Structure formats: C-alpha cells, structure tokens
C-alpha cells in the first residue's frame, strides 16, 4: 500500500528498467516473409507495403543471404507463378516457382526455409482450393495440399506452413510427407486464421484476390475465440508441430489463450495490413516508426508468441542489434 509501495522506484533509471523488463524481443524471434514472382526480371516495389519488394528467382539468393546476415533465423516463402489454372497445377511442379526459389536460396544460404502452402496464388479463380460450383471443395483440396507439401519438401523446404484453412489439412499433409520419407519435416499450421481485412496489401503482392466471393467459408469469423481454440486443438491432434495465430495485433487475446492452453510452440503472423498501417502513419509523421514497430512486436511476444512472422523483421533486427 502507498506510501510503502511505489512502483515508480523501479522505473526511475534506465538500468533498472532494463533489469526488470519481462519481455525482450530478439532477432532470433523473427521470421521474414519473401515474395518470389515468376513474372519478374527485376525486383518490384509493392505499392501498398512500403519497403517490401517482390523478387525474381535470380535475386533470392542475395536477399536470403542479407536476411541471414542480420541474424534472422528463417524466411517464409510465397510464390507467384506465371501460369494459373483451376487446379493450381504449378504449385506442385518440381520446376515451379517456389521449388526453384528454394533451390536458389539453398545454393548460397543455410537459412531455414518455411514454405507457405496454399492454392490461392496458383488458381486462376484465386480461391484456396479446388472449386465445386462456387464453393471451395474441402476433400479434393486435401490431396492437392499433400502433393504440394511433398513437392516443396523434395525441393528442400525445411518446414511446411499450410494456410488454406481446409478441415483435415494438417493430417493430409502429415500423411503425405511421412509416406514420402519426410517424417522429420515439421508443420507449422495457420491454425487460427481469421477472415481479415488486414490481408489486403498481401493480396496485391501475391496476386491472390479471389475473382468472386470471399474466404469466409473457411477462414474464421473475427467474433470467435472459443472456435479458435477448437481449431488449434484439432490441428495438434492432426500432428501440427507449431501453431500460428493470424493476424496478430487484433487477435492478441487468441495468442494469449492459446499460450495458456497448449504446450506446443506458438507463432503469430503480423500481417500485411498491420505493417502497412504503421508505415502509413509513420510516413505521415503521425507516429514514430521505430517505436511503433518495436512496441507492436513486443506486445505480440508479451501476449505469448514464441516467434513472429513480420515484414518488419529486417528493420527490427537492426533496432535490436543496436
Ligand atoms: C494465403 C495467405 C494469405 C496470407 C498469408 N497466406 C492471404 C489470404 O488468406 O488471403 C496473408 C498474409 C498477409 O496479409 O501478410 N496463401
């Protein structure tokens, strides 16, 4: 009780604040997403994501090396193919864009390569799976996901991250990987992925906006928290090694509840819209860029994430390295 109790005593000096800080962000907590686009011959700025570029395969090696040199342990790879069709056949082509990208990175870098696994970048209709009528058909999509996972693993992926939100996708991918001798390749499941407006800028970069309809038949309703825990429980039973919550900042309660409930490692994805909001406000001089960036990342870790997938990874690495 006051006056004996004075919390300000511990805030009076920087050194004491440093000693008692409960959450510290490290460069080892960061994963950097990379976009590789088969249509490009030179890097291309993504207008809605200042500082982020789509890259041709030829630039990936150098980019991966510079990310690795900053101490960032892993990249999350997204591919944009030149050819799209209803089944997304280029997604599991041994010479597909992601498969080539993996080999290109491997030539020059030991960085951990995580591959996003979805069909929305590869289908001409832009949906995350096979269509039946206007609907995404769950079960025929699972076979496609398993084939893509095996193809990515064969090309040298270190970890597979399925983001399509089909029921049973983790089990299907686990079985496919195991059958092909990839029983040691972990699965990071986008377990609680919400139907979020914050993916807007990403869809520009990945050219993956659905031609009709939206993703609400498979991505989660933003009003639901218990359902997220159910999704996560199912994914653990199906064999997920790491769970992910996405987006991060608007869903910190989900991160926190997942941390309390489950004993597997937990990732959070600070998505494109979260990044672009901070960039836009900072460019207008309305907030301090580095402080807002670090505060958002720290809050995600404080909520319980073990690591964070973020477009800020390189800039944050420089700040924590200082
Ligand atoms: C689907 C996928 C999406 C994101 C990651 N994987 C987009 C979507 O579901 O529409 C979004 C990432 C971001 O916004 O940064 N392949």
pLDDT number for residue 212: 87
Q: Are 136 and 130 in contact (CB under 8 A)?
A: yes
Which residue among 127, 202, 251, 279 has the greatest number of ligand 1 atoms within 8 angstroms of its CB, and so is best to mutate?
202
Give the tokens for residue 51: 């500082």
pLDDT (mean) for 287-303: 98
Q: How many CB atoms lie within 10 A of CB 4?
A: 5
Backbone angles phi, psi at 218, to 5 degrees: -130, -35
Q: What is the pLDDT of residues 171-192, one digit of tens each?
A: 999 999 999 999 999 999 999 9
Question: What's the Cα-to-Cα distance from 261 to each of 163, 219, 228, 230, 232, rounded to whole Å?
Answer: 22, 21, 12, 11, 10
pLDDT (mean) for 77-87: 96
Within 6 Å (CB) of ligand 1, which residues are found?
116, 118, 120, 163, 199, 202-203, 208, 215, 271-272
Q: Which of 73-77, 197-201, 202-206 has the lowest mean pLDDT?
A: 202-206
Which residue among 208, 248, 313 has the greatest number of ligand 1 atoms within 8 angstroms of its CB, and so is best to mutate?
208
Q: Which of 87, 193, 279, 314 is catalytic?
A: 193
pLDDT number for residue 322: 64
Q: How far is the CA of 202 from the centre of ligand 1 (A)?
A: 6
Domains and CATH numbers, the chain: 23-321 (3.20.20.70)
Q: Using CA atoms, how far apart are residues 207 and 226, in angstroms rounded to an integer?
A: 32
pLDDT (mean) for 28-37: 98
Q: What is the pLDDT of residues 244-292, one digit of tens each?
A: 999 999 999 999 999 999 999 999 999 999 999 999 999 999 999 999 9
Q: Which of 44, 84, 107, 246 is catalytic?
A: 246
Active-site residue flag, 193: yes
Sequential DSSP letters for 124-142: TT--SSEEETTEEEHHHHH
The closest-lying atom of ligand 1 relative to the alpha carbon of residue 272 is: 15
The pLDDT-based confidence of 204 (bands split at 50, 70, 90) is confident
Is the confidence at residue 211, as pLDDT, over 90? Answer: no
Minimum CA distance residue for ligand 1 atom 8? 199
Q: How many CA atoms lie within 13 A of 226 on its CB side?
A: 0
pLDDT number for residue 206: 84
Q: How far is the CA of 21 from the centre of ligand 1 (A)?
A: 33
pLDDT number for residue 279: 98
Backbone angles phi, psi at 203, to 5 degrees: -65, -25
Residues in the chain: 322
Local structure of 207: helix, strand or coil: coil
Q: What is the pLDDT of residues 155-175, one digit of tens each?
A: 999 999 999 999 999 999 999
Q: What is the pLDDT of residues 106-157, one digit of tens each?
A: 999 999 999 999 999 999 999 999 999 989 999 999 999 999 999 999 999 9
Q: How far is CA 281 from the centre of its chain?
A: 23
* Percent of the chain at pLDDT exceeding 70: 100
């Amino acid at each position: 009780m006051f006056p004996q109790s004075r919390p300000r005593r511990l805030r009076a000096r920087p050194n004491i604040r440093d000693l008692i800080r409960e959450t510290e962000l490290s460069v080892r907590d960061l994963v950097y997403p990379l976009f590789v686009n088969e249509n490009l011959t030179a890097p291309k700025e993504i207008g809605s994501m200042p500082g982020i570029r789509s890259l041709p395969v030829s630039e990936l090696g150098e980019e991966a090396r510079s990310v690795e040199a900053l101490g960032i342990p892993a990249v999350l790879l997204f591919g944009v193919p030149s050819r799209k069709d209803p089944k997304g056949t280029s997604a599991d082509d041994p010479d597909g864009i992601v498969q080539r990208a993996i080999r290109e990175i491997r030539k020059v870098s030991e960085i951990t390569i995580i591959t996003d696994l979805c069909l929305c970048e590869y289908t001409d209709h832009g949906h995350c799976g096979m269509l039946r009528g206007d609907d995404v058909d769950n079960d025929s999509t699972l076979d496609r996901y398993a084939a893509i996972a095996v193809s990515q693993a064969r090309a040298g992926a270190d970890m597979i991250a399925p983001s399509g939100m089909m029921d049973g996708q983790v089990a299907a991918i686990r079985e496919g990987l195991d059958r092909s001798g990839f029983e040691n390749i972990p699965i990071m499941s986008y377990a609680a992925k919400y139907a979020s407006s914050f993916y807007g800028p990403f869809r520009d970069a990945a050219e993956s906006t659905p031609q009709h309809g939206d993703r609400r038949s498979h991505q989660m309703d933003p009003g639901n928290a218990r359902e997220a825990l159910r999704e996560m429980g199912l994914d653990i039973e199906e064999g997920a090694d790491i769970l992910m919550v996405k987006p991060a900042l608007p869903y910190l309660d989900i991160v926190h509840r997942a941390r309390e409930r489950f004993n597997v490692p937990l990732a959070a994805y600070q998505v494109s819209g979260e990044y672009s909001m901070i960039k836009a406000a900072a460019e207008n001089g309305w907030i301090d860029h580095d402080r807002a960036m670090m505060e958002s990342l720290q809050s995600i870790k404080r909520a319980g994430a073990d690591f964070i997938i973020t477009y800020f990874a390189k800039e944050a690495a420089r700040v924590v390295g200082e």
